[in-house]
Amino acid sequence: MTAGQESPVVSTPHGAVRGRWEHGVAVFRGIPYAAPPFGPRRFRPPVPPTPWDGVRDAGSFGPTAPKPPYSEAFAQYLADPVVPGDDCLNLNVWTPEPGPGARLPVLVWLHGGALTRGSSAVPVYDGRTFARDGVVFVSVNYRLGVEGYGLFPDAPANAGLRDQLAALQWVRASIAAFGGDPDRVTLGGQSAGAISTGALIAAPQAQGLVRRAVLQSGAPEASDRDKVRRMVRRIATRLKIPATAEAFAEADRDLLLRAQGEAGRLSSPVLGGPAFGIVVDDDLVPRDPLEALTEGGAAPGVELLMGWTRDEYRLWLVPGGLLERVDRLGPVALAAARARCHCGHEVVRGYRDLHPEAGTAETVGQLVTDHLLRIPLHRLADGRTAPSYVYEFTWPSLLPGLGSCHALELGFVFDTGDVPESRKLAGEGAPQELADTMHSAWVRFATEGDPGWRRWDPSHPIRVFDAAPPLTTYGLRDRELALWTADTAVTAPGAGRRSRLRG
């Protein structure tokens, strides 16, 4: 912003908003895309916000969705700001050129957090770097936990996913006024945000809203309905109320969050257990999203950028010392991993033969990572004709034990390694060259549909991101994944895969 330049004002379908000039880009925070989901609207699909007169100030992040805090063990690595208030269905826009006519590419971001935590206010997700490089960036808050993904007999399922769809519809109607091109929208997310992205690009109601998609450490899936119901029943038992939306809507919000946190305390990607997730609902999610995308012809022209970190499991096992406990359990942990991943002895034996130096925790962690991520993402890339680009992030954190863990790549993708919240995972002194490389690849994908390496084909090209210059390798992890194909306990790649990712 130059001296004397006025704050930017943009008109939306519901009223005008005033943003701020920051770092040379216009920022609009806390814009409501739907009405507050409480009172008579609690556990119901989103509805448009009430229009306002005059110009609404959009200088601060809006309220975050109700959520329990991270445990102390996870809070040392993951930031999760809380902004109080009911108007939590809001979004933020960073743009280099507000006003119609620019027609810039758009990236819409869905945060991670196991569908129970996280928000668009996490500083790692600052969209200024994308706007700096010519991309209009939008980040979204949506309902979480039982408010967004509880399964009840008297309310529609997937309320949080419906919120995300409403945000995409807002982008379609409004983003041109912020300088964006509604026909060049990339939808992206990490972990639960990536799972949500997969469900949305497969959803019939979202067709035509998204041109490209980014799936970071999350694959399209539908959770087992009974698993979600068990989580709801656990909370209902703690509150001594019926497991209905009507009863939950009358519950005190703080007590509900406390009961939710207690009910999900032992659930994790490695351990399994009841958890919240997107479910098939015969409406927004008429079939398993992975099946819809690979077998049902959904979103045939949507280009994909997707991948994982080498040591995803270390964020799930290192906090709280679970990694050491898994190592001590030895054969018991391996047996639990077989049950968790629906695979036979031959798969575990094959992993031990391929990696004789690996301890029990590493073997269990890689088995779970392949089950949750690499197998379904390979299947997704194999099953589509539109271009797909696959990566693996291998740079290890400078903090002890984390390795190339889940969520570590975010500070590099966003080029926000300078914020303290990025250093909570990466440590001090993360390589700026790696951030330059990854961020520019994501910008290029959102702009051109090609991040700069060979698209997926039968040779399985995978871009590897480390401190050294990036390289493309072929057939990375094919030996491990072939073990699952040969295992008679698995009828198809990704069969039986039902989980929720943390972070």
Asked if residues 91 and 170 have their Cβ atoms less than 8 Å apart, the reply is: yes
Catalytic position from the list 312, 362, 421, 480: 312
Asked if residues 151 and 232 have their Cβ atoms less than 8 Å apart, the reply is: yes
199 contacts: CB under 8 Å, gap ≥ 6: 161, 220, 222, 278, 285, 289
Q: How far is CA 177 from CA 22, 97, 100, 183, 369, in A?
A: 19, 10, 5, 13, 41
- The neighbouring-strand residues paired with 107 are 137, 186
The full DSSP string for 281-343 is: -SSSS-S-HHHHHHTS--STT-EEEEEEETTTHHHHHTGGGHHHHHHHHTHHHHHHHHHHHT-
191 is a catalytic site residue: yes
- Rounded Cα distance, 64 and 62, in Å: 6
Cα 308 to its chain centre, rounded Å, is 12
23 is a catalytic site residue: no
Catalytic position from the list 14, 111, 378, 406: 406
Structure tokens at 370: 């392949």
- Greatest C-alpha distance within the chain: 70
- Rounded Cα distance, 160 and 309, in Å: 26
**Tokens 């216009």 belong to residue:** 26
3-state secondary structure of 176: helix
371 is a catalytic site residue: no
Asked if residues 411 and 426 have their Cβ atoms less than 8 Å apart, the reply is: yes
Cα 88 to its chain centre, rounded Å, is 18
102 contacts: CB under 8 Å, gap ≥ 6: 95, 96, 179, 180
CA atoms within 13 A on the CB side of 486: 12
Output the 3-class SS for 184-223: EEEEEEECHHHHHHHHHHHCHHHCCCCCEEEEECCCCCCC
Evaluated on CA atoms 240, 83, 49, 91, the torsion sign reads: negative
> At CA 85, angle to CA 229 and CA 171, rounded to 5?
80
Catalytic position from the list 191, 223, 267, 268: 191
320 contacts: CB under 8 Å, gap ≥ 6: 71, 73
**Tokens 């399209």 belong to residue:** 220
- For residue 495, which amino acid is it? A
Q: How far is CA 474 from CA 226, 336, 391, 471, 494, in A?
A: 39, 32, 11, 10, 21
Catalytic residues: 191, 312, 406
